[in-house]
Chains A and B, each alone.
Chain A
Amino acid sequence: MVEQIAQQAMIVHGEAWTIKELFTLPNEYIYWSIQIVMYPFMTGLVAGAFVLSSLYHVFGIEKLKEIARFSLVFSFALLPVAMMPLMLHLQQPFRGIHVLMTPHFTSAISAFGIVFLTYAAIVATEIWLVYRKYFVETAQGLMAMENRSMIDNGRMMIFQAMTLGAWDISPEAVEKDHKACTIMAGIGIPVACFLHGYAGFIFGSVKANALWMTPLMPVIFICSAVVSGVALCILTYVIVQEIRKYMARSKMARWATDTDAPNAEELEATKHTEVMISSNYLLYFMIAAMTLEILDLIFRGYTQVKSWDILREVIMERDFTKIFILQYGIGNVLPFIMMSLPGRTVRRTTVACVLVLFGVFMMRYNVVIGGQAFSLSFSGFMDYHLPIIPHDLETFKEGLFGALTVIATPFVLFYFINMFIPAFLKEESTH
């Protein structure tokens, strides 16, 4: 037993997935692995989803109404997941709360608590303002019901609590909600950008890392965040609309049996317009993101500072496939062409969105893992091997299955949140 523990103790954190080549310092390993790739990816999705919803709320792009409401609820489901990869990556996860309780303000990470909670509060407030009328109506409907079942009682209590005691749903009060909502969304955009910009700052400010250190990093992160967030919203929206269409046709869900329920053709029509407009915004942000990333690369190649020799070998040789083929080729250029060619269809856009999401993931991967692919001595390399079959807790947490858990969680959360805050409502209940 003692020997077993001693044997396990021999494996240093990071050793299980790092392969060293030539000269690397003895303590160098890929300490920030797949979960730290997931972290900016997930926060990016949160920020991007929120920005998409704000397009309607702030700039009043009416045609985006349905997808905007959907993205707002979805970004709420994504929120807790932004924290998950960090917790899975910490060596002392039970002390994670220290970051919120005793922040050390010279650290970029310490801002996490403040920015994250502010952002969470804004999203929650906005959802409450959008759905207050629905909460009140549902609660009143349940209260008026005679012989309520246990479930109905429970639901009534939850909805009563969610009204927060604000029962006034006169047109003036709702109009006030609407105004407050616009203001909250307006504040929300810079905060969402800050939430993700600072994730970029965490990397960009590490002066010891030649690949990460650039003031462009936060801006690059924000642009790619919006790209990935919009793409995920379009993708999920299309999938959910397809499910709703199926339900409307086969009358599977309770809402589908209502007399004024949207039929499959109506759903298809809204889906088409919303997807087309959102994907235009997706294209604009993709242009910005790609321009910045290429600018960074060209600038490094042109200035050729001390670190360029090793960076060139990593970027142009060792990680060439990951960067130029998977990230730029399949993840950026191909979907860009797919979406900008004439005769764009929802199906083609959906496929393009999947590729965009993959591209943004690869960008995070190439930044986080690529930044650790070379030694601080500039004389050696480290190769990352993602643990697939976990053989202990660490290789689970920081392996393929840990990452998949993180990806799956927002959808599970969305399912439950959707029970109380339905992302798709008939027009009159919300605004």
Chain B
Amino acid sequence: MERREFLKKCILVVAGASVPVSALTLIDPKKVLAANPDIQWAFLVDTNKCVGCGFCVKACKTENDIPFEANVSRTWVERYVYTKDDKRYVDSPKAALYGYIDSRIDLGRGEFKEIDPKNVGKAFFVPKLCNQCSSPACTQVCPVGATYKTDDGVVLVDRSWCIGCGYCIMACPYGARFFHPIAKVVDKCTFCYHRLSKGLDSACVNACPFGARKMGNIHDPEDPITKIIMNERVGVLKDEFGTKPQAFYIGLAQEVR
């Protein structure tokens, strides 16, 4: 056979084979199921109930093997203080791991500011975690597909495949991602996927003594959490990025970013 002839036949075989092979992917049963999954996990934070005790952060770090003293966390609590002279202070010392035991505001660089209690206009706590967005920016930018969205709506990281480039950290508008100090790969909140899949609540939901954190299946209309999300006024963080977050907040102030 001539070389030219051989190459021609090769092209023909490849072109011919690609048609039936592509049909196989067209009827991928996993994709059919994913189009209409029974479960879509959503998170509900009632900011009115949060007192900033930090139990959720402790529980999360213990459950998910994040070094306790390391200055990163899958979940954290922010404190907002507005003074009567129209100033705004925010802090989250050590991600609120030890709660807000100090009344002074952490200004960074080792500086703290005492605020006169009489001058405080309003103050509140906002727990935060990964929003498990419906159209996540982080999974889009991963160059190797090491971070992905499961069919039930949770964004996970494959620790054996992550190359540690940090592009997803840059892409996340919520600062939910970080490098795990020991695993040396990207880490993030998984809604405690290992617990969810066994029918358990996530560690932070379990640890919250005031019921400020709740979780439910938003595709189940009978789920009490779904009912709250559907019937009450809830907000999401930074919707301007179009990521469609799945963590909903009751009592969200517009200054919370």
A: residues with CB less than 8 A from B are 6, 9-15, 19-29, 31-32, 86, 89-92, 95-96, 98-99, 102-104, 106-110, 112, 202, 205-209, 375-380
Cβ contact of B170, chosen from A10, A99, A209, cutoff 8 A: A209
Assuming the A-B contacts A92-B163, A378-B257, are A208 and B241 also in contact, with contact meaning beta carbons closer than 8 angstroms in the complex? yes
* B224 contacts the other chain (CB 8 A): no
Assuming the A-B contacts A9-B67, A378-B257, A379-B90, are A99 and B181 also in contact, with contact meaning beta carbons closer than 8 angstroms in the complex? no
- Shortest C-beta distance, A45 to chain B (Å), equals 21
* B190 contacts the other chain (CB 8 A): no
Q: Is the CB of A19 within 8 A of B141?
A: no
Q: Is the CB of A102 within 8 A of B144?
A: yes
- Shortest C-beta distance, B224 to chain A (Å), equals 30
Assuming the A-B contacts A99-B163, A102-B144, A376-B257, are A208 and B171 also in contact, with contact meaning beta carbons closer than 8 angstroms in the complex? yes
- Shortest C-beta distance, B67 to chain A (Å), equals 5
Cβ contact of A31, chosen from B146, B162, B169, B182, cutoff 8 A: B169
* B91 contacts the other chain (CB 8 A): yes
Chain A residues with CB under 8 Å of B182's CB are 9
Cβ contact of A12, chosen from B88, B142, B179, cutoff 8 A: B179
28 pairs from A and B in contact (CB 8 Å cutoff): A12-B181, A23-B92, A25-B175, A26-B71, A26-B72, A26-B175, A27-B169, A31-B170, A32-B166, A32-B170, A91-B164, A91-B166, A91-B184, A92-B184, A95-B144, A99-B144, A104-B142, A107-B142, A110-B143, A110-B144, A207-B137, A207-B241, A209-B170, A375-B175, A376-B173, A376-B175, A376-B257, A377-B175
| B164 nearest in chain A by CB position | A91
Known: A91-B165, A207-B137, A376-B174. 4 other contacts (CB 8 A): A9-B182, A12-B181, A26-B73, A91-B163
* B167 contacts the other chain (CB 8 A): yes
Report the separation of the CA atoms of residues A349 and B4 in the bound assembly, to the nearest whole angstrom: 54
Q: Is the CB of B165 within 8 A of A109?
A: yes
Q: Is the CB of B164 within 8 A of A92?
A: yes
* B248 contacts the other chain (CB 8 A): no
Q: Is the CB of A23 within 8 A of B178?
A: no
Chain A residues with CB under 8 Å of B212's CB are none
Chain B residues with CB under 8 Å of A25's CB are 76, 92, 128, 174-175
Binding site of A, secondary structure by majority: helix, strand, loop or mixed?
A: loop
Report the separation of the CA atoms of residues A112 and B175 in the bound assembly, to the nearest whole angstrom: 26
| B256 nearest in chain A by CB position | A377
Assuming the A-B contacts A20-B108, A26-B95, A89-B165, are A31 and B179 also in contact, with contact meaning beta carbons closer than 8 angstroms in the complex? yes
Chain B residues with CB under 8 Å of A19's CB are 108-109
Closest 5 CB pairs of A and B: A91-B164, A104-B145, A25-B175, A109-B143, A208-B173
Q: Is the CB of B163 within 8 A of A90?
A: yes
Report the separation of the CA atoms of residues A20 and B95 in the bound assembly, to the nearest whole angstrom: 14
Q: Is the CB of A11 within 8 A of B170?
A: no
* B56 contacts the other chain (CB 8 A): no
| A99 nearest in chain B by CB position | B143
Chain A residues with CB under 8 Å of B36's CB are none
Q: Is the CB of B163 within 8 A of A377?
A: no
Chain A residues with CB under 8 Å of B89's CB are 23
Report the separation of the CA atoms of residues A376 and B164 in the bound assembly, to the nearest whole angstrom: 21
- Shortest C-beta distance, A364 to chain B (Å), equals 16
Q: Is the CB of A91 within 8 A of B179?
A: yes
Assuming the A-B contacts A12-B72, A14-B179, A104-B142, are A23 and B91 also in contact, with contact meaning beta carbons closer than 8 angstroms in the complex? yes
| B92 nearest in chain A by CB position | A26
Chain A residues with CB under 8 Å of B257's CB are 376-379
Chain A residues with CB under 8 Å of B144's CB are 95, 98-99, 102-104, 110
Q: Is the CB of A208 within 8 A of B172?
A: yes
Q: Is the CB of A208 within 8 A of B167?
A: no
Q: Is the CB of A96 within 8 A of B163?
A: yes
* B140 contacts the other chain (CB 8 A): yes
Report the separation of the CA atoms of residues A332 and B162 in the bound assembly, to the nearest whole angstrom: 39
Chain A residues with CB under 8 Å of B174's CB are 25, 376
Interface-central residue, B71, B73, B241, by most chain A CB under 10 Å: B71
Report the separation of the CA atoms of residues A41 and B128 in the bound assembly, to the nearest whole angstrom: 37
Report the separation of the CA atoms of residues A342 and B241 in the bound assembly, to the nearest whole angstrom: 51
- Shortest C-beta distance, A376 to chain B (Å), equals 5
Report the separation of the CA atoms of residues A102 and B171 in the bound assembly, to the nearest whole angstrom: 20
* B7 contacts the other chain (CB 8 A): no
Q: Is the CB of A92 within 8 A of B73?
A: no
Cβ contact of A102, chosen from B140, B141, B145, cutoff 8 A: B145
* B244 contacts the other chain (CB 8 A): no
Assuming the A-B contacts A107-B140, A376-B257, are A10 and B181 also in contact, with contact meaning beta carbons closer than 8 angstroms in the complex? yes
Q: Is the CB of B164 within 8 A of A90?
A: yes
* B107 contacts the other chain (CB 8 A): yes
Report the separation of the CA atoms of residues A276 and B62 in the bound assembly, to the nearest whole angstrom: 66
Chain A residues with CB under 8 Å of B91's CB are 23
* B161 contacts the other chain (CB 8 A): yes
Assuming the A-B contacts A27-B178, A107-B143, are A15 and B71 also in contact, with contact meaning beta carbons closer than 8 angstroms in the complex? yes
